[in-house]
Structure 1
Amino acid sequence: MRADAVRNLDAVLRTGARLLAEDPSTSIAAIAAEAGVDRRTVYRRFPTKEALLAAIFQAKLDSSERVLDTARLVEAQVAVALHRYVEDIIPVSREWPVDVRRMMRADPAANARREEQSARLDRFVQRAADEGLLRADVPVHWARAMLNHLVDTAAHQFPLLDPPQAADLIVDTLLNGVGRR
């Protein structure tokens, strides 16, 4: 693919992710205009909004997969892997703000990928609990849900918080809580 075609595709995917997260009824023509490309260019590559959304979901899944791989959730110390994961997933969340759960029925293969990524995080949080880094009286699935919510909150409600600071705050909140002991 030519360099300009790669740039155009990237612009369409990122713009589409942002606009569709803000308003799922956004048209392909509006996405093309905002991305600075002709709508025919977008329609040639993505004949329907569903096809564009599927490509956006794949791009987000690809980015998330890279984060999970580089975090070394199995090999690294839990706190180090957690910090690395959070620091790297915040930018992914910001770049690809669409909720991948929207594709569950539309794309079974992509949903299976999402489920595997989720299972990797589940195993990691279970590992943190097994190693005593999480309170024994807190269900593991609660801690996992809190991790998701903390990442989502930092990524979208605090856009000026840089990823390393967000990771510091999230890791401390998840491992130590916010209440006084």
Structure 2
Amino acid sequence: MAMPATPKPLRADTERTVRRILEAAERVLSANPAATMEQIAAAAGVARTTVHRRFASRDALITALAAWATQRFHEAVDAARPDTAPPAVALYQVTANVLRVKIGWSFAMGAVPTDVPEVAHVHAEVLAACERLFTRARDTGLLRPDTDLEWARRVYYALIHEAAAEAPASDAAVDALATRVVHTLLHGIGDSATA
């Protein structure tokens, strides 16, 4: 049985063009999910034929956009060094990095198909990294020893989801939001003296 051919890497200029198209698609589709390929081409500053040469259809463009965002999501988690950085540092950095991706690529992150094996694989890797980080956080005392880690992760994901819906405009605002998410996760919102 023959192995499938590995796709040739894109030339640097082609890669820049594809990235420009994907970034334009994110902007245009976030503002108008029904936008046409022509509108995306205009926003990217390329000819419509260039977009069609790179992406056979609007669905193919959206699939590529979702794959691009999924890869950025994976890189955001990896860049925080969840397996090696001190857990408090890694938790904050993962939060800030993921918020940047979810806010900057909101249309694409919402368009990520859950039934594509490559996407499922990336999400499984991210979830496993988060599970290891939360285990390290518990083992080092950042989380209480009796913390239900599955529940804590679900709460954390919900906090990130809600925080990303605020869509702050600056890096400083994203950093402040990440701090708020981590603080809420670790300390809650009630008065511990009355609990």
Query: TM-score by structure 2 length?
Result: 0.77
Structure of greater relative contact order (alpha carbons < 8 Å, 6+ residues apart): 1
User: Once the 2 structures are TM-superposed, how far is the Cα of residue 61 of structure 1 from its aligned partner?
Assistant: 2.4
| 2:46 match | 37
The answer to whether structure 1 residue 167 and structure 2 residue 178 are counterparts is yes
Greater percentage in helix: 1
Q: Equivalents in 2 of 1:138, 1:101: separation in Å?
A: 33
The answer to whether structure 1 residue 46 and structure 2 residue 55 are counterparts is yes
Deviations 1:76-127 (A, max 9, x none): 211111111122222212221123674122x222222222222211222233
RMSD (CA atoms): 2.5
8 Å contact from structure 1 (residues 134, 175) kept in 2: yes
Q: What secondary structure, in the 3-state scheme, does the structure 2 residue paired with 1:68 have? A: helix
2:113 corresponds to which letter in structure 1? Answer: M
Q: Equivalents in 1 of 2:32, 2:158: separation in Å?
A: 21
Q: Equivalents in 2 of 1:130, 1:22: separation in Å?
A: 44
8 Å contact from structure 2 (residues 156, 185) kept in 1: yes
Radius of gyration: which is bigger? 2
Q: Percent identity?
A: 31
1:118-137 to structure 2, matched below 5 A, reads 118-135=127-144
Structure 1: gaps spanning 5 or more residues: none
8 Å contact from structure 1 (residues 17, 96) kept in 2: yes
Report the count of equivalent residues: 179
| 1:99 match | 109
Query: TM-score by structure 1 length?
Result: 0.82
